[in-house]
Amino acid sequence: MKLIVKKDSELLQYLYENLDMPKKRIKQYLVHGSVYVDNDKVTQYNYKLVAGMKITIDTNSKRVRKLPFEIVFEDSHLLVVNKPSGLLTIATDKEKERTLYHIVRDYVVSQNSHSRIFIVHRLDRDTSGIVLFAKDEKTKNQLQENWNEYVSLREYTAVVSGHPREKEGQVVQYLKETKTHLVYVSRHEDGKKAITNYSVIRSSKNYSMLKVTIETGRRNQIRVACASRKMPIVGDKKYGSRVKANRLFLHANRLKIYYPVIKKDILFEVSVPREFKKLLDRDVEEG
């Protein structure tokens, strides 16, 4: 099934308005990775469409239990995936079905009805990248209870507006959170300490691509660190970005952790999304 977009809109709403199909079925196609926009697989309900884009729906794959995103690693104890931007890790009061956990659970249960899955850690809804799941409670407890000792590298790639004063540096802050989950920097040491390291990978006229490593795992830590330096992450409306973007330009691309099952460190790594490089390339051409 193919459609040519006639007007700017969001993906789920456009499909609902232009297909003779229940919204629930359209959501299933999205969740299971059967929808493509200009040949790129898209699972985000609110993906921004522009007139002229081509939408393709693979109606034959709706019931196939396969993950609509990359499996980085899988064995009998651990499953590591590359989470797309715009997908919640676990359920909230407002969203219970379209979550990373729900999709991964369906995948493992389709292989074995007695299978179980446990979330080990989370990423923000709008951050993409590496997320770990345990397939048994023992592995999950071992990893969660020793997380800070087991993890030796948490590396992200971010594209920010502007340019840092120094090519590399460290941001040490104390963070607090409002009742609406907005994280801010406290002037006093009464918040949770957050340590964020960065180095510039590449720059263009208006943007910088940063390699970011964190020594603490606070909510929105990288987003706040960048925004506080007046270089918000592209697409981060919550913390001051004014750049129109289809996603948050923050991606968890490397994670090194001690894996107790094999008693060795293991490095998980995924590619940086193509749109990160495209944004800087386009900025160079226009500049």
**pLDDT at residue 71, rounded to an integer:** 93
pLDDT in tens, 62-112: 454 678 899 999 999 999 999 999 999 987 666 556 799 989 998 888 777
Q: 242 and 165: one domain?
A: yes
Of the candidates 39, 57, 75, which is a domain's last residue?
Answer: 57
Q: 83 and 124: one domain?
A: yes
Q: 114 and 238: one domain?
A: no
Q: 107 and 231: one domain?
A: no
**CATH, residue 190:** 3.30.2350.10
Nearby residues of 210 by Cβ (< 8 Å), 6 or more positions away: 157, 158, 159, 160, 164, 198, 199, 200, 201, 226
Place of tokens 């006639």: 6
CB under 8 A, 24+ apart: contacts of 181-188: 181/219, 182/238, 183/218, 183/219, 183/220, 183/221, 183/223, 183/224, 184/224, 185/224, 185/228
Output the CA angle 8-206-254, nearest 5 degrees.
85
pLDDT in tens, 134-172: 999 999 999 999 999 999 999 999 999 999 999 999 999
Of the candidates 100, 119, 145, which is a domain's last residue?
Answer: 145
Rounded to the nearest integer, the mean pLDDT of the chain is: 91
**pLDDT at residue 61, rounded to an integer:** 57
**pLDDT at residue 249, rounded to an integer:** 98
How is 155-178 classified by DSSP, letter by letter?
EEEEEEES--SSSEEEEEEEEEE-
**CATH, residue 7:** 3.10.290.10
Q: 132 and 233: one domain?
A: no
* Mean local confidence (pLDDT), 45-74: 83
Per DSSP, helices labelled H in 146-273 are 147-150, 221-228
Q: 168 and 270: one domain?
A: yes
**pLDDT at residue 190, rounded to an integer:** 86
Q: 79 and 154: one domain?
A: no
φ/ψ of residue 228, rounded to 5: -70, -20
Is the separation of the CB atoms in 62 and 30 below 8 Å? no
Q: 254 and 176: one domain?
A: yes
Of the candidates 21, 39, 57, which is a domain's last residue?
Answer: 57
The edge-to-edge listing of strands for the beta sheet with 35-37 is: 2-4, 54-57, 35-37, 40-41
Burial 40-67 (b: 16+ CB within 10 A, else e): eebbbbebebeeebebebeeeeeeeeeb
φ/ψ of residue 35, rounded to 5: -110, 130
- Domain total of the chain: 3
**pLDDT at residue 62, rounded to an integer:** 47
Per the structure, the complete domain to which residue 184 belongs is given by: 149-287
**pLDDT at residue 15, rounded to an integer:** 93
Q: 69 and 28: one domain?
A: no
**Which residues are paired to 209 by β-bridges?**
159, 202
Could you tell me how many helices (H) and strands (E) the chain has, helices first? Answer: 7, 17
Q: Could you give the 3-state DSSP secondary structure of residue 206?
A: coil
**pLDDT at residue 95, rounded to an integer:** 58
As a three-state string, the secondary structure of 113-141 is CCCCCEECCCCCCCCEEEEEEECCHHHHH
**pLDDT at residue 64, rounded to an integer:** 43
φ/ψ of residue 269, rounded to 5: -145, 135
**pLDDT at residue 93, rounded to an integer:** 64
pLDDT at 45 over 60: yes
Q: 160 and 285: one domain?
A: yes
Q: Band of the pLDDT at 256, cuts 50, 70, 90?
A: very high
Q: Could you give the 3-state DSSP secondary structure of residue 222?
A: helix
Q: 129 and 238: one domain?
A: no
pLDDT in tens, 171-210: 999 999 999 889 999 988 889 999 999 999 999 999 999 9
In whole angstroms, how far apart are CA 67 and each of 11, 53, 64, 269? 20, 25, 9, 18
Task: Identify which of 72, 64, 14 has the alpha carbon closest to the alpha carbon of residue 34.
Answer: 64
| Predicted TM-score (pTM) of this structure | 0.77
pLDDT above 70 covers a percentage of the chain that reads: 95
Q: 177 and 98: one domain?
A: no
